[in-house]
Amino acid sequence: MKLAFVEEGDGPLVVLLHGFPENRRAWRQQLPALARAGFRAVAPDLRGYGDSPKPRDVDAYVIPEVAGDVIELIESLSSVPVVLVGHDWGAVVAWNLAMMRPDLVRKLVILNIPHPAAIARELQRSWPQRFKLLYQLFFQLPVLPELFMRTFGRLILRRAGRFTPEEVAERVQQWRGNLTPMLHYYRAIKKSRGMMRKLFRRIEMPTLIIWGEREPVFNPSALEDLDQWVADVRIERIPRAAHFVQTDAPEEVTRLLIDFAATPTTALPPTT
């Protein structure tokens, strides 16, 4: 499944994966900066979004299938491991791709999504976390989520991040004809979780988590004790940013991305 993508620059490859309800334009402020810093920055539309293919079957949106698209893209663009960046659903894909194909990823950057195992842990021990994720059950219903997004999506974006009126209008426009495949990510959650549990392995490559501290969905406790799943993890917190951290604090996110991508990788001792 060939993904549509945009790219800027020439040099080591950085692949940036967007989330819901955006598209490759989520990285509009990071792409040119990465290019100026000497990287080849590539931002695809994930399947179901933008100009990429839109399968009708819900099962086509399980995370290993979506990650497979990105694996194919990376293999077509680079013969060496890349820096992989993900936000929201793109971060879920990035976490899992790093476990599925660690040979393709030399560094991992995650924006405002905890490790999948940490999310599962928080769901088991925290009723507030369960409550915050109830919206996912609503998004799994037929028809109603599409109607909801058409009616209230513009208002949600205005409240969720520091989007300009033009950016809100652009996103609402790209939802036309795309809302159902975009929402299929939620409808495939149960099957995705079962498949992802079988893929869990410790992530060895250096990992940066950029966290907007005004995150409305995930509890801060989901960032605790990550070393059992990620060998080399660093967390950078941005107090004034919420879930759409690359929009709320674009300059700081871009600086962190470039600094992390440019720092030479230090090999970790093998785990036992």
CATH of the domain at 240: 3.40.50.1820
H helices, E strands: number in the chain: 12, 7
For position 266, what pLDDT does the model report? 60
pTM: 0.95
Tell me if 134 is assigned to some domain.
Answer: yes
* pLDDT of residue 96 exceeding 90: yes
Q: Tokens at residue 9, please?
A: 């620059």
Tell me if 63 is assigned to some domain.
Answer: yes
Tell me if 269 is assigned to some domain.
Answer: no
For position 196, what pLDDT does the model report? 86
Q: Which of 61, 69, 186, 248 is catalytic?
A: 186
> Which residue range is the domain that position 103 belongs to?
5-262
Higher pLDDT, 73 or 170: 73
- Extract long-range pairs of 222-226: CB within 8 Å, 24+ residues apart: 222/114, 222/115, 222/118, 222/119, 222/121, 222/122, 222/129, 223/114, 223/118, 224/118, 225/118, 226/114, 226/115, 226/118
For position 269, what pLDDT does the model report? 40
Tell me if 57 is assigned to some domain.
Answer: yes
**Distance of alpha carbon 72 from alpha carbon 244, whole angstroms:** 27
**Distance of alpha carbon 245 from alpha carbon 253, whole angstroms:** 7
For the chain, how many structural domains are there in total? 1
For position 270, what pLDDT does the model report? 37
Tell me if 272 is assigned to some domain.
Answer: no
Residue 186 annotated among the catalytic residues of the structure: yes
**Distance of alpha carbon 94 from alpha carbon 99, whole angstroms:** 9
pLDDT confidence bin for 271, thresholds 50/70/90: very low
Residue 232 annotated among the catalytic residues of the structure: no
Q: What percent of the chain has pLDDT over 70?
A: 97
Tell me if 76 is assigned to some domain.
Answer: yes
Question: To which H or E segment does residue 15 belong?
Answer: strand 13-17
Report pLDDT digits (tens) over 170-197: 989 889 888 999 999 999 999 998 888 8
Tell me if 268 is assigned to some domain.
Answer: no
Residue 51 annotated among the catalytic residues of the structure: no
For position 264, what pLDDT does the model report? 85
CA angle, 158 then 159 then 164, to 5°: 30
For position 267, what pLDDT does the model report? 44
Mean pLDDT of 96-118: 97
Q: Tokens at residue 201, please?
A: 């392995």
Cβ(21)–Cβ(80) below 8 Å: no
Q: Which of 18, 88, 184, 185 is catalytic?
A: 88
Tell me if 271 is assigned to some domain.
Answer: no
Mean pLDDT of 101-128: 96
